[in-house]
Amino acid sequence: MAQVLKGIDWETFQQLRGSEKKEYFTRDEGIFHIIMSQQFDRKLLDEICELTTKIRGISKGNKGVAFLQSLLQGKRAMLYFVQPSTRTFLSFMAACQVLGMQCSEVRDTTTSSEMKGESQEDTVRTFSSYVDLIVMRHPQAGFAERIAFLLNQTRRPVPVINAGSGKDQHPSQALLDIYTLHRSFENYGGIDGKRIAFVGDLKRGRTVRSLAYLLRNYADVKIYFVAPKELQMGEDLKEYLQEQSVEFEERGNLKEVIPKVDAVYMTRIQDEYDEAGESKRIDYSAYYFKKEYLKILPPNAIIMHPLPRRAELPPEIDQDKRAIYWRQVRNGMWVRVSLIAQIFRKDKDIKDY
């Protein structure tokens, strides 16, 4: 499928809708690049969840660990992370290791030839020559997409995983969030029909955007966007949800929403994207999950956070059984194992194990 790209230029490609770009991120009917949430459908999401659970089971025994490590032995990954990262970086590295891959990393462009004036595109093209997979985090929205587009036109396209693209998207985080929701509601009818509140800096939080895109794949989901006016969800995403008939409501008051939901997804203020210190003028404390809210949160509801957290999520609530953000962290590694295994078409071997 990827060769279809030869017939399209970058400008035309950019005009396409996310769902139309999907085929360019696909090869031989399977997933190849992971760039944006719009490329995932329900079937693929269910497959990812199932494969992840299977991998977790296999990894419990020594034989299983050795089997997983044999799957991608001899393959190499490049982790190109030019924005700060703890969890995403380490979990991708661990995921590669689970599958027996070797990793190299670029985290600081001042040590690469970009300092000598080499373009970012040439830099990535260079290291694509040494590896079989590129995982990248970049401050520029659309950069991972551009690299996937460029590599598709080369003789040796290498899969690209977007591990965070500016304020825009973070699809692997959204997939681990889906897996966490799926596991949490397994005995309560699944994700279908659930009410989910996204809280905080929704304008600049890429994890919320990517997860909201994915939720269109589930029936009768209702979303509450709870944020100060200045940080409410972008129009583009709201239009998308409208088109997809996903019900959502914008709210300003967190306390009022908590009793109504099955999941609360907290986020920190993304002040690294401030242009002129505007975050300081916002009273973000109204969007903190206060300990007293535990009393009004429904008994089967869950509290999520992509982390890192600040004061919006006090450590005193970590002990509550509904607080599952540390489980999200752990799930993140297994979902990433599953994604890499799918990209390299090892899902069948895993299912047959």
Residue 45 CB: number of other CB atoms within 10 A? Answer: 20
Among positions 157, 159, 228, 306, the unique one binding ligand NCD when judged by CB under 6 A = 306
Taking only Cα atoms into account, the Rg of the chain, rounded to an integer number of angstroms, comes to: 20
Q: Which residues contact 236 (CB under 8 A, 6 or more apart)?
A: none
Q: Binding of ligand NCD at residue 228 (CB under 6 A)?
A: no
95 vs 338: CA distance, rounded Å:
8
Torsion sign across C-alpha atoms 135, 198, 189, 290: positive
Among positions 157, 164, 171, 228, the unique one binding ligand NCD when judged by CB under 6 A = 164
Peptide bond into 308 cis (omega under 30): yes
Residue 7 CB: number of other CB atoms within 10 A? Answer: 7
Q: Binding of ligand NCD at residue 170 (CB under 6 A)?
A: yes
Residue with Cβ nearer ligand NCD (267 or 342): 267
54 CA to centre of own chain: 20
Residues 307-326 that bind ligand NCD (CB under 6 A): 307-308
Residue with Cβ nearer ligand NCD (5 or 269): 269
For residue 289, give the amino acid letter. F
Residue with Cβ nearer ligand NCD (37 or 152): 37
12-20, 38-46, 231-239, 306-314 -> range binding ligand NCD (CB under 6 A): 306-314
208 vs 308: CA distance, rounded Å:
14
Q: Binding of ligand NCD at residue 331 (CB under 6 A)?
A: no
319 vs 299: CA distance, rounded Å:
14
Q: Binding of ligand NCD at residue 207 (CB under 6 A)?
A: yes
78 vs 55: CA distance, rounded Å:
23
Residues 187-206 that bind ligand NCD (CB under 6 A): 206
Q: Binding of ligand NCD at residue 268 (CB under 6 A)?
A: yes
Q: Binding of ligand NCD at residue 209 (CB under 6 A)?
A: no
144-152, 223-231, 303-311, 337-345 -> range binding ligand NCD (CB under 6 A): 303-311
Q: How far is the CB of 76 from ligand NCD (least distance, A)?
A: 23
**Measured at the alpha carbon of residue 139, what is the angle toward residues 135 and 141, in degrees to the nearest 5?**
85
Residue with Cβ nearer ligand NCD (27 or 336): 336
Residue with Cβ nearer ligand NCD (83 or 112): 83
Token couple for 155: 């003789």
For residue 146, what are the CA distances in angstroms to 35, 160, 183?
10, 10, 34
Among positions 37, 38, 39, 88, the unique one binding ligand NCD when judged by CB under 6 A = 88
Among positions 37, 152, 162, 173, the unique one binding ligand NCD when judged by CB under 6 A = 173
Token couple for 268: 């920190």
Residue 28 CB: number of other CB atoms within 10 A? Answer: 8
Residue with Cβ nearer ligand NCD (72 or 302): 302
Residue with Cβ nearer ligand NCD (195 or 206): 206
Q: Binding of ligand NCD at residue 330 (CB under 6 A)?
A: no
Q: How far is the CB of 268 from ligand NCD (least distance, A)?
A: 5
Closest listed residue to residue 131, CA positions, set 110, 91, 160 = 160
Q: How far is the CB of 327 from ligand NCD (least distance, A)?
A: 13
Report how many residues bind ligand NCD under the rule CB under 6 A. 11
Residue 282 CB: number of other CB atoms within 10 A? Answer: 17
Residue 189, Cβ density class (10 Å: 0-12 exposed, 13-18 middle, ≥19 buried): exposed
Residue with Cβ nearer ligand NCD (167 or 194): 167
* Contacts to ligand NCD by CB under 6 A: 87-88, 164, 170, 173, 206-207, 268, 306-308
